[in-house]
Structure 1
């Protein structure tokens, strides 16, 4: 309890200390120092003696210098106040007209005691709108209820439009995070692909709280491994980002289909927290899907082991119009087959739908 309180308040202090500084406040502080300096009548005295300079403080006020310093300080202070007033006005206007829409997806872990909206830092300015999509009631027991979960998630586009209202996209930030089955996370990504400024958060399983992705340099790239094939209508694309996919389970489930595998050297959970890193991995995924499309592959069976934020990011990058039909699979270790069902992404003529592996 005390540890949670300390972490929460320490985060607020860090956000305050690392916030973007206001130029007007800096100018006011500098100008106030000049005013005090001039009013006190204490100045530096510089003398030249032979071939060296001598400097120090003098207690005898120089009226001309004092006047110049005071005037500069007063002018700077006034300009600083003008800047502060304008910035404050802009921030107030943005807080009035802006929207911070927080989309929390609940499907596996109950995060209701630590909602995503409570973890959003103060740097996101605007009216905060809590948009929770809880589909747990549809996902308990038999996966036949997946259709109802898909319908509930498909309302997300409409709900985002209602929450945004008549506010222009430039004033809207959509923050998304969730603990949900991977196929549904990928599907959600396709639903928010054109929502403008989207910021992804992830659930930190170690600490049991929401974390924003960090700004950090790219790390390792995917290693590409693939079966040789010339022509194939259907291909399995496996991605090992947070875990190593079950290769034996893939071979049992998709016995007659060639395998293309993108993997990190040592995939581990709770490690991919960098925005740039995720963007680089997404670019590799996108290029691989496009390359398969160029080879006339018509259906991609996607087996994805990745953190929620990366699964959503992949879904946002997937082009429903120009890329092969894609089915994203759910992994169930004790099931036979190991990948018993998938979500087939929407097309121009059909909405997203559940597909049982035994049906093909």
Structure 2
């Protein structure tokens, strides 16, 4: 059976076994009781002088009156329950807030309809938090990355935390969609780590629209393949992750000369291999387990090279355990540079509570 049909069968089973609302159950039960009587009929007439009669079976007081009345009462009661439920839902949604964090950099989210797509998934009033560094990017390269990080990215740590602390947990939702450089996106994932559930959206290059990373999207079951490129002889190592593209290992070896290199990769490197929430959760856990294993082996600093979609990068940042794992430096890739990994950002950890930026000479 193909993955598509397995997914469809799973959705049908979920629908059949999901918990039904009391109002719906009352209406269905009432319609079942009242329906047969309402559909009963008697037809009499003449056909070529002969008497013609078509009718349902005769009933009694219970079947003709009491059962239909009970059915009608159940239908009305069900309608009342549904109406009350909808009113309460509308009232609660009017109090809900959606903290929508958008990142504008490598391209802009303005006018792309992200807010409209978010409203189809989450209910509540959108509270936008725009991180716009477009003025600091030229030809796809971040100008003065250290200044950009310190002035526009790092302050978001306290701002987002304050917003979420002030809101009621049951009424505050978080959503993210953006086009920021990998190190900045990973950092924002660190910031959102312990702030509850995050609904993530990514840009669909094929259809040129925003798409929800959802459990309804098919999980192809793919996991990371692990390989050791160069054994580490120190307490530092380079971890290369290939999701959307296969990273050029020779380029990494030249850029990080003398360092041990580990590589985890997907066999199929495509732009559209990441829409399943179940898959992203599995890959995020595998990534975290890899960092944990390296930490247990005595590695204190992981130089992280990530080739992945924005949503994956964010979720990897959320899964990184800054309390128990080795320090992580996430690097920016700039193909035209003499050194293709010219700068990176520290993940939030005990030693780097306010992160920090690393500039590497050519």
Out of 290-299 and 85-94, give the one that drifted further: 85-94
How far apart, CA to CA, are the structure 1 residues paired with 2:359 and 2:165?
A: 38
How far apart, CA to CA, are the structure 2 residues paired with 1:209 and 1:329?
A: 27
Matched-pair contact (CA < 8 Å) for 1:286–1:317 = yes
2:101 to 103, 120, 141: 103
SS of the residue corresponding to residue 131 of structure 1 reads: strand
SS of the residue corresponding to residue 219 of structure 2 reads: coil
How far apart, CA to CA, are the structure 1 residues paired with 2:164 and 2:304?
A: 33
Aligned to 1:194: 194
Query: 2:291 matched to 1:292?
Result: no
Aligned to 1:209: 209
Out of 245-254 and 109-118, give the one that drifted further: 109-118
- Cα distance change of structure 1 residues 228 and 122 upon mapping to structure 2, 3 Å threshold: closer
Alignment of structure 1 residues 171-190 onto 2, 5 Å:
171-190=171-190
Out of 101-110 and 211-220, give the one that drifted further: 211-220
TM-score (normalised: structure 1): 0.82
SS of the residue corresponding to residue 85 of structure 1 reads: helix
Aligned to 2:222: 220
1:144-186 CA distances to partner (integer Å, 9 max, x unpaired)?
2443334322333444355447442122221111111111111
Aligned to 1:263: 265
Aligned to 2:344: 342
SS of the residue corresponding to residue 120 of structure 1 reads: helix
Matched-pair contact (CA < 8 Å) for 1:129–1:163 = no
Following TM superposition, by how much is the alpha carbon of 1:123 offset from its aligned partner in structure 2, in angstroms? Answer: 4.3
How many residues matched? 330
Following TM superposition, by how much is the alpha carbon of 1:74 offset from its aligned partner in structure 2, in angstroms? Answer: 2.5
How far apart, CA to CA, are the structure 2 residues paired with 1:231 and 1:251?
A: 15
How far apart, CA to CA, are the structure 2 residues paired with 1:105 and 1:142?
A: 14
Matched-pair contact (CA < 8 Å) for 1:177–1:202 = yes
Aligned to 2:355: 352
TM-score (normalised: structure 2): 0.82
SS of the residue corresponding to residue 37 of structure 2 reads: helix
How far apart, CA to CA, are the structure 1 residues paired with 2:246 and 2:120?
A: 37
Matched-pair contact (CA < 8 Å) for 2:239–2:263 = yes
How far apart, CA to CA, are the structure 2 residues paired with 1:319 and 1:40?
A: 64
Matched-pair contact (CA < 8 Å) for 2:176–2:201 = yes
CA RMSD of the aligned region, Å? 2.8
Matched-pair contact (CA < 8 Å) for 1:42–1:61 = no
Aligned to 2:5: none
* Structure 1: gaps spanning 5 or more residues: 1-19, 44-55
How far apart, CA to CA, are the structure 1 residues paired with 2:146 and 2:113?
A: 24
How far apart, CA to CA, are the structure 2 residues paired with 1:173 and 1:199?
A: 8
Aligned to 1:240: 242
Aligned to 1:131: 129
1:304-358 CA distances to partner (integer Å, 9 max, x unpaired)?
0011000000000111221111111111112111211111223335422221122
- Cα distance change of structure 1 residues 142 and 58 upon mapping to structure 2, 3 Å threshold: closer
